[in-house]
Structure 1
C-alpha cells in the first residue's frame, strides 16, 4: 500500500478503542510516517506482538499534539511480550520503537543517578514483559554508548541480530555474552558476518558467561558466512545445549560440522538454500547428528550426499538412533544419502522419509541399510 499515509485519525475518538487488539503487522507501506498516534498507542493495553517491515516510517508512536509531556514508557504496551520488531530495511527509522522507550528510560536513568541494582529494578518495572528483541547495528552502538548496566538485558529469552551490512562487520560476541545470559533463542539475519563467535579471546575459561540456556540458533541470509564458528572451548560449551539449529540462505558456507560431538543435544536440523554445501557431514563428524529427531535439507543445489567419506568410514556402523523424520527436497545434485559402500546405516526409529525434486537419486544408500519402523516414503 504505497499511498497509505495514515491508518488512524490524529485526534482521539471516544467511541473507538483497541483494547482487544493482540497483534499488529505492517509491511511495504512506503508513505506511512508513523504507525500509531499517541491516543491509539495508549489504548493498546493487550498488544502482544508488533511487526513492521520495509516501510518508510520515522516513528512507531507519533509525537504529536495528543502526546503529554509526562509520557513515560509504562504508559505504552503494558502486555507486549514480543519485541522482535521486524523494522528491517526501514531507512528512515534509525532505531527500533523499543529504543525510543529505551532512550527515554536512559535519560531518566542518567538524571536520577541510579545504582545498577536500582536501574535494574526500574527497567523491570518499565518493561515488565520484555521477552523478545531484535537489534540492528545502530541499536547495539546506542546501548554501548549509553552505558546500560550489563544485566539489564537478562530477561529477554529470544534475540534477533539483523542488518549488519558493512562488509567488515564483526559478530558482536562479547556484547552478546555479557548482556544476554538467559537467552534461549538466537537468530542472526541479513548480515555480512563471515563467522559467528569469532573472537579468539573467548577461549579463556571463566572470562565470559556461557549461554547455558541457549536452545535454538537460526542463521538466515548471511551471504558472506564462511564458517559457523571457531573451534574453541567456549563455543563447544554453547553448542552442547543446542536442540534446534537452522541455516537458511548461506551460499558461501561449505562446512557446518567441523568438530566431533559438539552438538550433544541437537534434535532438529534444518538446512535451506545453502548452495556451497557439497555434503552435510563427514563420517568423522556424524556424531553431531546422533540425537536428531528431525532432519530437513531443502534447496542446496550442489549437495551430492548427506554423509560423505573422509577416509574413516571403512566398516563403520552409523546409527541415527532417534531420527524419526527425514526430508530431502529440491536437491538437483543429490545422488544418495551416502555413497560409502562399506558402512552400515541404522535408523531404528525412522518412520517418514520425504524425497522430492531430487532427480539424480537412484538409491538411498550404497551401504547396508536398516529401517525397521519405516512406514512412509514419499517421492
Structure 2
C-alpha cells in the first residue's frame, strides 16, 4: 500500500506521534485530543514531517480556558479538511494572532471546515482585515450544535469559493451573514439552515443604508427548516438574483411573512415547498415567480 489513514489515536505521548509518522509516512488523517496537541507542539521534527496529512480532527479540548491550537496548523501545510468537535473554545481564531500571515497561508489551504458540538463558541473570529480573507478557498462549511454562536462570520468576511453551507442547531444564532458576505457567495450551490431557533433573517442589514443587488449565481437549493423566529430571508430592500435556483423548501417557519423586501429574480425556479408558513404572504413574489417560470417554459415549448 502507498497510503495509510488513521482515524483515531489515543496516546498522548509525542514520541508515539513521531514514531507513528515514521512508520506511516503517508499518513493522511489524524485525530488529536488536547494532550496530544500539546505534546505535538512541544516536539521537534523536520519541516516536511507532516507533508502528506490532509485531514486533521481536533476533539475534546475541555477546559475553562481552552483555546484553539492555532499554532499547530502550520505543521500541516497540505491540510485540506479541518474537523473540530466536542470542545470548549470560545473562538476558532484568536483576536490577537501573532504571525497572522503565516497562519493565513495555512488557513488558505482548507477546503472543508466542520465545527460540531462546540457549546461555548461565540464566533469563528472577530473582525480582522487579514483573517477576513483567510478562508477564500473554503468549499464546504458545516456548523452544528454550537449553541452560543452569535454570528457566523464578521461583517467583512469573504467566502468566494464556498459551494456548500450547512448550519444546524445553533440556538444562539440570530442572523447568518451580512450583505457584504452574501455578495461573496457567488459559488454557493446549496444553503441549508435548520433548527436555529433565534434566527430572524438570513442576510442581515449592515445599517449603512445602501441597497445593493446581491447575486447568488450558482445557488440551486435553498432549505430553511424549523426556524420559528425567521421573519424573512432579508428584511432590507436589496434586490436578489438567483439565476440557478431550482428548489426552495421552507418548513416550520411560522413567523416568515415574506421572502425579501426588494426585487427578486428566480428564472429557473421549479419547486417551492412551504409548510407552516403564511403562504399568501411569503413574498407573493415567490408564487409569482413560479407562475412566471411556468409561463417561460410554456413559451419556449411553443416556439
TM-score, reference length from structure 1: 0.66
Could you list the per-position Cα deviations for residues 186-227 of structure 1 after superposition, in whole angstroms to 9, with x for gaps in the alignment?
A: 011011111112162435545885344211111111111111
Distance 2:17 2:240 in 1: 58
Distance 1:356 1:181, change over 3 A: same
Q: Identify the residue that residue 84 of structure 1 maps to in structure 2.
A: 7
Q: Report SS of the residue matched to 1:82.
A: coil
Q: Which runs of 5+ in 2 are unaligned?
A: 275-303
Q: Identify the residue that residue 10 of structure 2 maps to in structure 1.
A: 96
Q: Identify the residue that residue 351 of structure 1 maps to in structure 2.
A: 246
Asked if residue 165 in structure 1 is aligned to residue 56 in structure 2, the reply is no
Using the TM superposition, give the Cα deviation of residue 352 of structure 1 relative to its aligned residue in structure 2, in angstroms.
0.8
Distance 1:347 1:214, change over 3 A: same
Distance 1:197 1:238, change over 3 A: same
Distance 2:218 2:34 in 1: 39
Q: Identify the residue that residue 269 of structure 2 maps to in structure 1.
A: 374
Larger mean Cα displacement after TM superposition, 234-243 or 265-274: 234-243
Alignment of 1:197-212 (within 5 A): 197-198=93-94, 200-206=96-102, 209-212=105-108
Q: Identify the residue that residue 363 of structure 1 maps to in structure 2.
A: 258
Could you list the per-position Cα deviations for residues 290-316 of structure 1 after superposition, in whole angstroms to 9, with x for gaps in the alignment?
A: 331111100000111111222235442
Question: Retained in 2: the 8 A contact 1:260–1:288?
Answer: no
Counterpart selection for 2:41 from 144, 153, 160: 144
TM-score, reference length from structure 2: 0.81
- How many residue pairs match? The answer is 274
Counterpart selection for 1:224 from 85, 101, 120: 120
Q: Report SS of the residue matched to 1:338.
A: coil
Distance 1:207 1:327 in 2: 33
Higher relative contact order (CA closer than 8 Å, sequence separation 6+): 2
Alignment of 1:172-183 (within 5 A): 172-177=69-74, 179-183=75-79
Larger mean Cα displacement after TM superposition, 129-138 or 355-364: 355-364
Asked if residue 131 in structure 1 is aligned to residue 28 in structure 2, the reply is yes
Q: Report SS of the residue matched to 2:173.
A: coil
Could you list the per-position Cα deviations for residues 103-147 of structure 1 after superposition, in whole angstroms to 9, with x for gaps in the alignment?
A: 4574xx6xxxxxxxxxxxx945x2044111110011112323443
Distance 2:68 2:29 in 1: 19
Alignment of 1:176-195 (within 5 A): 176-177=73-74, 179-195=75-91
Distance 1:277 1:104 in 2: 40
Distance 2:97 2:257 in 1: 48
Using the TM superposition, give the Cα deviation of residue 253 of structure 1 relative to its aligned residue in structure 2, in angstroms.
1.1
Distance 2:233 2:94 in 1: 32
Asked if residue 288 in structure 1 is aligned to residue 211 in structure 2, the reply is no
Distance 1:226 1:261 in 2: 16
Distance 1:279 1:215 in 2: 24
Distance 1:251 1:123 in 2: 36
Question: Retained in 2: the 8 A contact 1:257–1:288?
Answer: no
